[in-house]
Structure 1
Amino acid sequence: MALKTLHYSIFKLVGGLLFLSSVSILLAVWIATTNHARTQVTKGLQIAESVLKQVLASRELQLYSSADVLTSDFGFKQAVATQDKATIQSVLDNHGQRISADVMALISLSGEVISSDFEQLNHQVTQRLAQLLQNAITQGGATGIVQIADKLYQVILLTVDAPNPIAVSVVGFELEQSFVQELKEITKLEITIQAQIADQAPLLLSSLSASEQVHALKRVGQEFDVLRLPFTYKNMYTSKRFLLSESADNKIWVTISEDLNPLFSEFNFLQFKIFVIALLSLTLALFLGMIFARNLTSPLTALAKIAQKISQGDYYSKVKAKANSQEINNLSLAFSVMQQNIKEREAEIKYQADHDILTNLFNRYQIARIVNQKIEADEYFQVVLFNILDFRSVNDTFGYQNGDACLQTLAQRIMGLGGYAARLNGGELLWIPETTITEEEILNTRQSLETPICIADISINLKLAMALVSCPDDADTEEKLFRRLNIAIEKAQHQALLYQAYHNELEALYLKKLAVLSELKKVLSTEQSELCMFYQPKLNIKSGKAEKAEALIRWNSEKLGFVSPELFIPIAEQAGIIGKLTDWIIRRVIRDIADWQQQGIDLQVAINLSVHDVSDDTLLAKVIHYLQESNVSRAKLSFELTESDLMQDPTKAIAHLNAIRNVGFGLAIDDFGTGYSSLSYLKDMPVTELKIDKSFVLNLATEVNDQNIVKTVIALAQRFGLETVAEGVEDQASLDLLTLLGCDWIQGYYISRPVAPAALIEWFNEQSLPSQTLINKET
């Protein structure tokens, strides 16, 4: 829906209000005048009816007086009694001339005309006159209006008594057009008299013309038509009719009509004047409204254009709007403040969008734009990525506030090197030098960056891994640059110098890892035969029997061939699918233990767990469930964890290990002696075994240092009440020495290579244990 302009709205408001006001006034005047006219006309008709009846009554009284004088005359009575027609006629003529009567007659009681000066009565007595005659005989007199021939007469009939009635005298006046005009003059209204006698044409007397009579008679009994009166008042009448005389076959009506033209002519003129005034007022109001709207909307339109410029980023044009009111002036000032605030806020937002809030270095997106600009300009430049090793432990040890302070200090040092610097995420910082630098300069730069950071009497040492990518030699797109930086920094973290310059072989290794990860996900999500478990027995030196074994996973991929666990297990940990892999291993190992139990082989199997597995709160419940499904005792299963994994978060590791140990599973620390174990943590760890790393056992028979280390570990284990397992035993001399040092278990190629489950059964059934020689020597 299209929005209306303010200019239009003001016009609409002003014009609409005036229009409604004018129409309301016109309607009010119209209705009030009409109601007044209706009341006035109704009252006038009622008065006219009363006056008309009084006039007729007056004429009737005059007739009565005239007739009474006639019938009281003694000579007239004697003439009637003697039937002296000449005398009777003479008296009637004289009396009629004296009172200007139109009808003078004497009628016998039987209805015969005795004498009359009215020619029509010499021939017949009308039915209406005969009816009045009977009324006069019985009542002594009667009055009425009768039609004789084609004229109307108001008559009075009185009996001639001598002393009883001997005849009836008739005196009458004609109701003629002049009488109707006389009534019009008296009532000031139009008069129409209608006579209707059966079998005769109606008789009509009226003060109106023939055409006017039609309109007037149609309006008899009708109310005012309010909607038509002001517009069609010509030949408009309001009429009232009443019955003047009635007999069986004779009805005489009188219709009183008032011409509405004079009544409403002034009213219509008043309406016209109101309409003209309203039209002029509306025109004037619209003109003034246009001026007002222009004064109001002009500055608003100017401010709208300024707002549009501001929305397009123009924060420097001065806000100019002609203020004709305090409100517009306030709005203009508000626009100026808004413009300044938006300018400042956009600058702040732009800075925040391009920079890392903590370090004030560029963020990843801004440095990516800078890289793209350099690549598009075909510039040669180097990119160095710094990664703070084990930065999480800095936060955990010294707190996040001190960790943030370390990042800020390191960022300032990098910015001091010149060029461009950015923080990518966490503890990763990127630097683009202004000039080309050598490997030696990069290493020297790291040395200055790693200077201890002192915060509130705390000295914090940061260790940095570094990766170098040269553009466009090593990467000609932003995407390649960041991917290859990640590849190089990951490699650098495993180098002695903690430094790695990118080369193509790293990409190949990275792609291989991706292929391994892709295939591993497929293998774990489908039923397959590529993954399998191998088992390496552990020999109990004291009993000379293989009572334990270590479970080792093998993968022969149809697509990749044999994939070493040392390659795909770390990849699974990094990709977050180590849980699925561990779940598959546990289920397969438990199934194999159940199969061995059915064949009489009693063996405890150790499964290697990663730090991710130990942190999985659902692991323990799943293991117990799988054991119950296969009807395998918990004592047949144990777990091994590497020393380095345990030391990442000893407190959390101890809590999880206690939960595993409390339900009856054995626990061993694998590769003991290769990490940086803390004895304070070791004494709290609920482990049952220490596994001596094979790097100390392979040359045990000839290396004195290895012998001292192994001897120390065994003594330490015995002090803590732990059993020891030596892995990597490959000759009898090493086995003999371990026996003398008090080692509990041995594991290595000298006993058996890792073998498949079926081969392990065959080994148990057919083997000749080398430990038998040891037992014989001891005996």
Structure 2
Amino acid sequence: MFFSREAHNKNGDFMIQALLNLMASLCHTHYFVYDPMYRGLFLSDSLLKEFHLSSRENGWNGWMNITYPQDQASLQNFIHLLTHQKHASLNIHCYSRSGKIIPLTFQAQTIQFQKQTCIAGIIISSFSRHIDPISGLRDAFHCENICNEYIDKPEIDQFLLGILDLDNFQSFNDTLGYTAGNQLLRRTTGFLQSVLPEKAKLFRLENDQFAVLCTNCSSSTLQGWVNVLNQLFIANEMPTISCGFVSYPKDGQEWHRLRKRAQFAMKQAKRDGKAKSRSFSLPLEIQQHQSEQLRVSLRQSIHNQMQGFYLMYQPQLTKDGRMKGMEALLRWNQEPCDTFVPILEASGLLFEITGWLFNQALRDFAVMRKEDSSLSISINLSYPQLLEDHITEIIHAVLCRYQVPSTALIIEITETRIAENFLIVKPILNKLRAMGIRIAMDDFGTGYASLSFLRQMPIDIIKIDRSFVINLETHPADSMFIRLITDIGKELGCAICLEGIETAGQLARLSDISIDTIQGYYFSRPLVRDAMLEYLHQQKDR
């Protein structure tokens, strides 16, 4: 490591340089060696790339040129200390090649051997502190800085930023532990690097999330890379990866917007089934922003004593117009139900309205039953609400509060959610039926319930979806389907309710089909409580 006149030859310089580079690559830290006698200063290549320095600057003059002016006196004092004491350290700021001010920490030690003196040290920059210890990749700090460098360079007029996220990584961690999770991240890094597009740079952002910056590739190249990766992962029995990517400057012109939009696209890839790549879509972002604004407004309404929420009731009648019951429908004064109900369910806010929903509906129904004690009321429950703790106790308490018999209550749950969660849902529905409550399978025909499934499921009523009624007058096959489901339902002991009847022609098509109840605009639109009471009075007068 020491210099002599003989050592100042090309072979000696090469060996020192190679040693410094090896140490830097192993430890992700910058190194330097300085001979005060011959003023030879050797630097690892990582320093040369990051700062405007040559491998053999004339002593410390090169450093003085890139040091922040207020710190130059400190650097001069540090050099003086190196020749008078064994250890010295320094914190200063220097200009990088891109012109950014980078904080640096110098740590050096004087070594003497055979009457010769050498100063060896390390330089830790904010860059070298941001190396991910698990994958060995540069982290989000590096990714942001390099992205900003690309933006600042006029010769780079376009690049792609992709964000990749392992599918089901949390489940993998929970099942096999964090040690296995870290091993998976290392294996994933190896595969990512093995097929990385030319001139692309790879980073680990956080947790199971990686980023790639690519200046010379198209969106199809990046999508092809993700497809190859997922084939490798599947072949090696590893979790797949989802990717979202953005293009500069089309999708954003600064780091934070690019990263946010790449994250958005990645989440969309996961929603689309995972193991996919998706480019950023502005219309989807606008839709997501509107949904978020709605979510905030919904939460405010709920926490403000359900302000803006109310119930409407749609009559259910026989084909000849006799009143049999009604369905309670949740409404909000700001948006239609097909807009706000999915947001309520996705955000978990439905849990907060379950008690209010049953209390309001059964309180109104207790008044309506005074007009006709044979009436029933149907209330929709989402799958998350059905799993709510003490849901049966909540319903039982409200039934008792308003003295409504349990046999007058029908709980509706959609076909798809029942079929997808059969083993979980079945015991809960059995418990409700044991209380005397009837169960209706809503929107039948839009999911994938099989005949054997219908036979096993504890249901009392099949509600055929309105999609089979829309073209009932012009498509005979729809009436054949309704007849088939009705016959099967009757064989299984189920009542049949048909939704969406709006015209006399549609009703006429059902004349020889044994439908138990019909619901639709032909008989009545949904009504508020007082209008529903008036409707019941009119029914009694018929």
2:48 corresponds in structure 1 to none
The 3 A distance-change label for structure 1 pair 616 and 426 is farther
Q: Deviations over 1:217-249 (max 9, x none)?
A: xxxxxxxxxxxxxxxxxxxxxxxxxxxxxxxxx
Q: Deviations over 1:380-399 (max 9, x none)?
A: 4323456788x59998xxx8
2:248 corresponds in structure 1 to 471
Matches of 1:306 and 1:682, distance apart in 2: 81
Matches of 1:388 and 1:596, distance apart in 2: 54
User: Shift of the alpha carbon at 1:465?
Assistant: 6.9
The alignment status of 1:519 with 2:305, answered yes or no, reads no
Q: Deviations over 1:558-600 (max 9, x none)?
A: xxxx302222222222322111123322221111111212444
1:134 corresponds in structure 2 to none
2:155 corresponds in structure 1 to none
Conserved? CA contact 1:385–1:489, under 8 Å: yes
Conserved? CA contact 1:372–1:477, under 8 Å: no
The alignment status of 1:550 with 2:322, answered yes or no, reads no
Matches of 1:649 and 1:594, distance apart in 2: 33
The 3 A distance-change label for structure 1 pair 496 and 659 is closer
Conserved? CA contact 1:414–1:431, under 8 Å: no
Aligned match of 2:316 in 533, 538, 542?
538
Q: Which moved more, 1:687-696 or 1:523-532?
A: 523-532
1:299 corresponds in structure 2 to none
Q: Which moved more, 1:378-387 or 1:731-740?
A: 378-387
Conserved? CA contact 2:87–2:108, under 8 Å: no
Aligned match of 1:375 in 148, 152, 158?
148
Q: Deviations over 1:713-767 (max 9, x none)?
A: 3333234322222211222333233342333222221222112111222222236
2:508 corresponds in structure 1 to 736
Matches of 1:751 and 1:393, distance apart in 2: 51
Find the residue that maps to 1:740 and give its secondary structure.
coil
Aligned match of 2:218 in 411, 431, 437?
437
User: Shift of the alpha carbon at 1:452?
Assistant: 9.0
Conserved? CA contact 2:411–2:438, under 8 Å: yes
Find the residue that maps to 1:612 and give its secondary structure.
helix
Matches of 2:210 and 2:420, distance apart in 1: 23
Matches of 2:360 and 2:267, distance apart in 1: 33
2:21 corresponds in structure 1 to none
Aligned match of 1:663 in 435, 440, 455?
435
User: Shift of the alpha carbon at 1:501?
Assistant: 3.9
Find the residue that maps to 1:518 and give its secondary structure.
helix
The 3 A distance-change label for structure 1 pair 307 and 593 is farther
Matches of 2:145 and 2:223, distance apart in 1: 27
Root-mean-square deviation (CA, aligned residues, Å) is: 4.5
The 3 A distance-change label for structure 1 pair 743 and 425 is farther
Aligned match of 1:715 in 466, 473, 487?
487
Matches of 1:480 and 1:603, distance apart in 2: 56
The 3 A distance-change label for structure 1 pair 536 and 369 is farther
Find the residue that maps to 1:683 and give its secondary structure.
helix
Matches of 1:713 and 1:473, distance apart in 2: 52
User: Shift of the alpha carbon at 1:473?
Assistant: 3.8
1:580-619 aligned within 5 A? 580-600=352-372, 602-619=374-391
Partner letter of residue 297 of structure 2?
A: E
User: Shift of the alpha carbon at 1:547?
Assistant: 1.2
User: Shift of the alpha carbon at 1:625?
Assistant: 1.3
Q: Deviations over 1:621-663 (max 9, x none)?
A: 1121122122222122221112232344322122322222222
1:651 corresponds in structure 2 to 423
Aligned match of 1:569 in 341, 345, 370?
341
The 3 A distance-change label for structure 1 pair 640 and 430 is farther
Conserved? CA contact 1:361–1:421, under 8 Å: no
Kindly indicate which of the two structures has a greater share of residues assigned to helix.
1
Identity of aligned residues (%): 25
Aligned match of 1:761 in 485, 508, 533?
533
1:632 corresponds in structure 2 to 404
The 3 A distance-change label for structure 1 pair 492 and 728 is farther
* Rg comparison, structure with higher value: 1
The 3 A distance-change label for structure 1 pair 544 and 354 is same
- How many residues get paired? 419
Conserved? CA contact 2:371–2:537, under 8 Å: no
1:688 corresponds in structure 2 to 460
2:499 corresponds in structure 1 to 727
The 3 A distance-change label for structure 1 pair 714 and 510 is same
Partner letter of residue 475 of structure 1?
A: G
Conserved? CA contact 1:643–1:670, under 8 Å: yes
Structure 2 residue runs of 5 or longer lacking an equivalent are 1-85, 91-103, 113-121, 123-127, 153-157
Matches of 2:184 and 2:522, distance apart in 1: 52
Conserved? CA contact 1:422–1:429, under 8 Å: yes
Greater relative contact order (Cα < 8 A, sep 6+): 2
Structure 1 residue runs of 5 or longer lacking an equivalent are 1-304, 321-342, 344-348, 557-561, 773-779
The 3 A distance-change label for structure 1 pair 488 and 711 is farther
Partner letter of residue 703 of structure 1?
A: H
Conserved? CA contact 1:537–1:549, under 8 Å: yes
The 3 A distance-change label for structure 1 pair 715 and 515 is same
Find the residue that maps to 1:741 and give its secondary structure.
coil
Matches of 2:244 and 2:532, distance apart in 1: 47
Matches of 1:687 and 1:693, distance apart in 2: 16
Partner letter of residue 147 of structure 2?
A: K
Partner letter of residue 509 of structure 1?
A: Q
1:66-465 aligned within 5 A? 354=132, 360=135, 366-367=139-140, 369-375=142-148, 377-378=150-151, 380-385=158-163, 414-415=192-193, 416-418=195-197, 419-420=200-201, 431-438=212-219, 440-441=220-221, 444=224, 447-448=227-228, 451=231
